[in-house]
A and B are shown apart, each in its own frame.
Chain A
Amino acid sequence: MRSWVIGIAAAVGFGGMAAAQEVKPAIVYDLGGKFDKSFNEGVYNGAEQFKKSTGVDYRDFEIQNDAQREQALRRFARDGFSPIVAVGFSQASAVEKVAKEFPNVKFTIIDMVVDAPNVQSVVFKEQEGSFLVGLLAAKASKTGKVGFVGGMDIPLIRRFACGYVQGVKYANGSAEVFQNMTGTTGAAWNDPVKGGELAKAQIDRGADVVYHAAGGTGIGVLRAAADAGKLGIGVDSNQNGLHPGKVLTSMLKRVDTATITSFTQAKEGKWKAGVTVLGLAESGVGYALDDNNKALITPDMKAAVDKAAADIVSGGIKVHDYMSDQKCPG
């Protein structure tokens, strides 16, 4: 029965390949949802941009619970979609399984490495981007205390936190960093009330800049910071415009570029499986500077952060990666 199903699926896969010179891309979002103003929305923006420039439409799906990941991936694969972009580290096991069942479908997973001949893994050096915003946070802080609110407590988010702490300490060795995680389940990506309470707690302890890496939860973090007259730092997408003048900057993680690249490569027949690591040098991460936060970033801060960025690219500053040894120095 099983091999029969796979046989049919493979046939459909081949049929799809033969018929479709043009690509049929699809996206499966993670639990935060397509419009989390952050991580998933970055992918969405990339896909929309691709659609606008090439006229190629795509399909997408927002999962409501963990069980749907595999179903959604499998359904897209069966319907001949390729490449399929799976957003988020938690899709890894589902991608691994479905990629095996559909060897002719191209999968791209963001934020996690899946070792399979038809999977492209895109990971980012979040620690480098976080280092830069940490440096800015420390320079902008008047109290010498800054905060970090993470989403789900996983090594990936600890990597954000660790890079941030290093950036803060680089700019101000005596600065204090408060760190909190929202939760230990997927629900932690979508709980702005709790995010707001965590941010308020940190502000009560003296923090005046709060950085979040918490998807939809972060909307509450930025709001709490803005309501209290403090500064927030956005993540993944450019969130400076959510509360203009109250968001110091955003740590950009170019998931939009990753999405466009995957789609375009597939369209031009250049798509390759394997691991892509995007850091500062590849412009995969960075910090956001636009009209909304221009007044907050002084020339002095800008010079310092640009110098640090150059040093990281050249290797002058080594930003420790939490995920390499599950430890954070300092």
Chain B
Amino acid sequence: MDWLSTGIAVFDSGVRLAVPLLFACLAGLWSERSGVVDIGLEGKMLVAAFAGAAAAHATGNAWAGLGAGILVSTAFALVHGFAAISQRGNQIVSGVAVNMLAVGLTALVGNAWYKQGGRTPPLEGAARFEPITLPGADAIRGVPIVGPLYADVISGHTVLVYIAVLATVLTAWVLARTRFGLRLRAVGENPAAVDTAGISVMGLRYTAVVLAGVLCGLGGAYLSVAQAAGFLTQMTAGKGFIALAALIFAKWRAWPALATCLLFGLLDAVSIRLQGVVVPGIGQVPVQAIQALPYALTVVLLAGFIGRAIPPRASGLPYVKER
């Protein structure tokens, strides 16, 4: 098998693995840009994955699963919002609470409903998002390099993958180019100034938190309804936290977030493909070394290449109007 097709297979797999990270990363971006630190991304994705799989199984419709995932994730986001914005509680504590609640609740409810140790039954047919072929993919497959690149890497994913890219474009545009985006960024830097201008700090922060909930819902539903076929306990497996790392890596900006998540996904894909492959001059690389590769590279890149990452100034601080 030649290098081009190997490369294309790796990119293809990297895209699939990057999508949940990207959704969670964008969710964190919205939330933190408004000044609400959100380490509950993981928990929200998990409940969304569960709700998505449960609803998709009950209705036999993947879109119903997606809707349920978004709803439940948003409800959890509002809990976090209520604690962190209205009650001015510690945002880290509230986020941890969301994570713990999600782990316990999904396993408990899943076991009570399906009696399969917290799993949902496997999803079949229309209850899953199937890969879609973009127009023209088959027509230009024969064109060298560009053809397979388009047909295999860009086309042939589930619809949620394209929604993820769309979400990145929208996030970048809204934050940078709209009045709402400007205000939202301002509320994360200097909420007092926004308040003085007569704009509701609470309103903006709640909007951001709800958007984060919707994005986590998309990410969670992708995990259980598109990438896998059903829910498993703790299936997010730390993706919410990796997304937070990606967010810092990307310095709280949308396009770099896309690039970072793709990089992380790609490293994951490489680590999967490199296993058992004989590297010239070295021989077969041990499984452990390959699996440590993404983490090692992350540390190197974080430490050496991105420079200082400065978070939004007011992130993590509840806004108190009067002293």
Contact = CB atoms under 8 A, between A and B. Distances in A.
A64 B291 CA distance: 23
Contacts of A190: 232-233
B272 A201 contact: yes
Interface in B1-22: 1, 5-6, 9, 13, 16-17
A197 B17 contact: yes
Contacts of A220: 228
B232 A216 contact: yes
A219 B231 CA distance: 12
Interface residues of A, number: 31
Interface stretch (A133-141, A178-186, A276-284): A178-186
B122 A219 contact: yes
A302 interface: no
Interface string B211-239: 00000000000010001110011010100
B13 A197 contact: yes
Nearest to B117: A33
A184 B288 contact: yes
Best-surrounded residue of B117, B229, B237, B287 (most CB of chain A within 10 A): B117
Nearest to A201: B273
A191 B237 contact: yes
A220 B122 CA distance: 10
A153 interface: yes
Interface in A184-200: 184, 187, 190-194, 196-198, 200
B272 A192 contact: no
A69 interface: no
Given A62-B117, A192-B232, A205 B237 contact: no
A153 B287 contact: yes
Given A33-B117, A35-B116, A184-B288, A196 B228 contact: yes
Contacts of A183: 291
B287 A181 contact: yes
A26 B117 CA distance: 17
Nearest to B107: A64
Interface in B306-322: none
Given A62-B117, A204-B5, A206-B1, A223 B229 contact: yes
B80 interface: no
Interface in A148-183: 153, 178-181, 183
A254 interface: no
B303 to A, nearest CB: 24
B116 A197 contact: no
Interface in A43-94: 62, 64
A179 B9 CA distance: 18
Interface of B: 1, 5-6, 9, 13, 16-17, 107, 116-119, 122, 223, 227-229, 232-233, 235, 237, 269, 272-273, 275-276, 287-288, 291
Given A197-B16, A200-B9, A204-B1, 6 more contacts: A181-B275, A184-B288, A193-B223, A196-B228, A201-B272, A220-B228
Q: Which 4 A-B pairs have the closest CB atoms?
A: A35-B116, A33-B117, A204-B9, A35-B117
Interface of A: 33-35, 62, 64, 153, 178-181, 183-184, 187, 190-194, 196-198, 200-201, 204-206, 216, 219-220, 223, 242
23 contacts: A33-B118, A33-B119, A34-B116, A35-B116, A153-B288, A180-B272, A180-B276, A181-B287, A183-B291, A190-B232, A193-B227, A194-B272, A196-B227, A197-B16, A200-B9, A201-B9, A201-B13, A204-B5, A204-B6, A204-B9, A206-B1, A216-B232, A242-B122
